[in-house]
């Protein structure tokens, strides 16, 4: 007796590494849909779950988490370095402004001194 399309799909999924129970469930869900019709919500959910798992497996196989961790550490170091630069520049600017305000007398003081000399 010929196998149904559902059984064929279940066998193929099982051969690809899916557990037998999951393969039969997925094949059964897909087998209930009409051709050319939009698949039911539960079928779309199963497909999305399987896609997510496949993406996660691929991510872990290519050391994705380690790469993201290294990138995050680099970003933290860059932000810290830039903050130190800003802080140094701000301190330098404040020091320069402090020197300028102490060294140069204000205009009114200069006028007062000039008046005092004339008198």
Question: Is there a contact between 10 and 23 (Cβ–Cβ < 8 Å)?
Answer: yes
**Same domain, residue pair 95 and 39:** no
The pLDDT of residue 33: 65
The pLDDT of residue 117: 77
**Same domain, residue pair 46 and 1:** yes
Range of the domain at 98: 66-103
Q: Considering the chain, what is the average pLDDT of its residues?
A: 84
pTM above 0.85, yes or no: no
Report yes or no on 110 lying in a domain: no
List CB contacts of 6: < 8 A, sequence separation 6 or more. Answer: 27, 28, 30, 31
Question: Is the per-residue pLDDT at 35 higher than 80?
Answer: no
Number of domains within the chain: 2
**Same domain, residue pair 85 and 37:** no
**Same domain, residue pair 51 and 36:** yes
């Amino acid at each position: 007796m010929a196998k149904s399309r559902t059984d064929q799909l279940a066998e193929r999924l099982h051969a690809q590494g899916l557990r037998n129970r999951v393969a039969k469930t997925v094949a059964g869900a897909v087998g209930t849909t009409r051709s050319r019709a939009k698949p039911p919500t539960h079928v779309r959910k199963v497909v999305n779950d399987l896609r997510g798992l496949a993406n996660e497996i691929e991510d872990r196989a290519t050391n994705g988490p380690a790469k993201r961790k290294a990138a995050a550490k680099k970003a933290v170091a860059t932000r810290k370095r830039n903050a130190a630069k800003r802080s140094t520049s701000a301190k330098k600017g404040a020091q320069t402004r402090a020197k300028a305000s102490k060294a140069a007398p204000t205009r009114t003081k200069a006028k007062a001194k000039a008046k005092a000399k004339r008198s």
